[in-house]
Amino acid sequence: MIQNIIINGLINGSIYALLAIGFSLIFGVARIVNIAHTAFYMLAAYFIYVGFGYLGLSPYVAMPLAVLAVGLFAVICYKLFIDPIREHEAAVLIATIALAMVIQEALLIGFGGHYLGVPPLIKGYAEIVGVKVTYQHLLALAVALLALFGSWLFLMKTKPGLALRSTAQDREVANLMGINEARVAMLTMGISAMIAAIAGAIVVPLFVLDPHMWMHPLIMMLAIVVLGGLGSMKGSFVGAYIMAFAEVLVVFLVPMGSFLKGSVALSIMILVLLIRPEGLFGIAFEEER
Amino acid sequence: MLLEVANLTVCYDRALLINDLSMVVDTGELVSLVGPNGAGKSTLLRAITGLVAWEKKSKRGTVGGDITLEGRILFNGERIDRTPAHEIVKKGLIHCPERRRPFREMTVLENLHAGAYLVKDRKEAQGNLEQVYALFPVLKARSKQISGTLSGGEQQMLAIGRALMSEPKLLLIDEPSTGLAPISRGEVFEKIRQIAQLHITVLLVEQEVSTVFKMASRNYVLSSGKIIAEGPGETLLQNEVIRKTYLGL
């Protein structure tokens, strides 16, 4: 039981962390609350399903292709629907909700509401401290941790990462460093969608696919960024694991807990908003004149 | 002329902030721009470095997004009033903004690296870093510190150091002494004097008239968006009206 909680908490936490970091990234850089973020995650899962099931591609080809395709799709959506109205925060919010709904409905028309699945990449299981863990779960955990580490390296150690963080902290002053703030925002949209797509690729062999699968992660992700502090990468990372373990604990320890897992996230979110509205690592944004 | 502003007019909504203003800065000068609060000093600098145009573009269609920008701005004989802010930087015109504005969550070193964003050559960037460290030893000592936790004076040094990282030809500095303790002020002014000696042209906006007039080779007095007087400090101080009305001395 405890081992199950740890393994599941780690995997879910890593996936949530990937989602929440991407969401924080685009919020931080462009002040876009992207409700369609988990729709990108779902889209990646469906792309892989199509590549694998219909086109007969190897999953090792289908997955990177799907990640790139989602990134490109996100950039196109940004240019078409978000960039023209970027200064109107409420309109952007509505546009991203609409985008998510469009993706959901398009998938519903294309694939129906059935549950779909992709077989695991590797079969078999390992026995770790007496609990059976499938290799697929271990692979998912490894890839998720690798992707998180990769994101961290990109942000902290590369020049585009520096430009991105600078823009997130002060959009106006970033201009004065010679950073093309509009282009950074567009790139960030692509990068954040690609990180979400990686999360989608990780869960494909573990979960079933259906056109509503973006809803639960969306709620968790929103709760996580409220807990961690909106716009804080560290907060998103820590918050993701806290939420994942809270969720897994309820599922395993509370009778009928799996029905309650959504409400746990929302309860934590409400508590945080009541007690510490800025979140664990909340940052005060520099006022732009 | 290194910088030439001709018939510049800036309106935010219906407020006329810069009114048909013309001014010049020549290579190697240290020119000051003084005037009461709300005279349009910061707006002038923001217009020169493209921030007003950027604001106009990025706030189009919103409340407070109705911005007019007319007139000509030339840098090195080249028109820059239609050039995006991030490309003006490439030409060597760097703006060290009001209220210092360091990237608060980043370390001192990361801030300086951000300042060298356009310097492609690693060696060159490293050389610039050494120079900035030589000018501001305190930044070297605190290179790993998160810049939001620095003192006001140190943050000002960082803001100037960050601007120097991209090898400016003309440096615009907006109110570097505001909000600093007297001892830090003296230090900041001393550093600006040293920068001017490095053959970097400086346009300095300041409230502390008595100090700046001693430093600058030429001064502009700005009021209600217009240049109302120009000249060396001693001449301006002799004019009773300007001294009492606009400089508060």
Q: Do B54 and A178 touch (CB under 8 A)?
A: no
d(CA A30, CA A23) in angstroms, rounded, equals 11
Instruction: Give residue A287's pLDDT.
Output: 43
Read off φ and ψ for residue B202, nearest 5 degrees: -125, 135
Q: Do A159 and B117 touch (CB under 8 A)?
A: yes
pLDDT digits (tens, 9 = 90+) for B49-77: 999 999 998 888 787 789 999 999 999 99
The candidate with the shortest Cα–Cα distance to A82, out of A94, A71, A72, is A94
B233-242 burial, b if ≥16 CB within 10 A, otherwise e?
beebbeeeeb
Instruction: Give residue B246's pLDDT.
Output: 77
Contacts of B103 in chain A (CB under 8 A): 165-166, 169-170, 173
pTM (predicted TM-score): 0.92
Name the minimum distance, in Å, from the CA of B63 to any CA of chain A.
Answer: 10
Q: Is residue B85 scored above 80 in pLDDT?
A: yes
d(CA B139, CA B162) in angstroms, rounded, equals 10
d(CA A186, CA A194) in angstroms, rounded, equals 13
Q: Are A9 and A167 in contact (CB under 8 A)?
A: no
d(CA B155, CA B147) in angstroms, rounded, equals 7
pLDDT digits (tens, 9 = 90+) for A142-199: 999 999 999 999 999 999 999 999 999 999 999 999 999 999 999 999 999 999 999 9
Domain spanning B3-99+152-246, CATH class: alpha beta
Q: Are A41 and A200 in contact (CB under 8 A)?
A: yes
Largest CA distance in chain A: 59
- Full DSSP string of A64-133: HHHHHHHHHHHHHHIIIIIGGGTT-HHHHHHHHHHHHHHHHHHHHHHHTT--B----SS--EEEETTEEE
Q: Are B97 and A176 in contact (CB under 8 A)?
A: yes
ipTM higher than 0.95? no
Provide residues of A within 8 Å CB-CB of chain B. Answer: 86-88, 159, 162-163, 165-166, 169-170, 172-182, 283, 286
Give the mean pLDDT of B125-150.
97
* Residue indicated by tokens 């799907």: A66
Helix (H) or strand (E) holding B10: strand B3-12
Instruction: Give residue A210's pLDDT.
Output: 95
Instruction: Give residue B153's pLDDT.
Output: 95
Q: Do B166 and A166 touch (CB under 8 A)?
A: no
* Residue indicated by tokens 């799996």: A258
Taking only residues 135 to 194 of chain B, the set having a beta carbon closer than 8 angstroms to any beta carbon of chain A reads 162-163, 166
Instruction: Give residue A289's pLDDT.
Output: 36
Neighbouring C-beta atoms of residue B247, cutoff 10 Å: 20
Sign of the four-CA dihedral B31, B35, B41, B42:
positive
Structure tokens at A191: 């990068």
How far is the first Cα of chain A from the last one, in angstroms, to the nearest whole number?
Answer: 54
Extract the residue ranges of chain A whose pLDDT is less than 70. Answer: 283-289
A–B interface: beta-carbon pairs under 8 A: 80
| Strand pairing class (B201-205; B30-34) | parallel
Instruction: Give residue A209's pLDDT.
Output: 95
Structure tokens at B121: 């050559």
Q: A261-275 and A233-253 are packed helices; what angle lies between their axes, rounded to 10 degrees?
A: 130
Query: For chain A, what are the domain ranges?
Result: 2-212
Contacts of B61 in chain A (CB under 8 A): 87-88
Structure tokens at A15: 């996936």
d(CA B99, CA B117) in angstroms, rounded, equals 21
pLDDT, chain B, mean: 94
Q: Is residue B210 scored above 60 in pLDDT?
A: yes
d(CA B97, CA A175) in angstroms, rounded, equals 11
- For A55, the 3-state DSSP assignment is coil
Please give the angle made by the CA atoms of B242, B205 and B243, to the nearest 5 degrees.
15
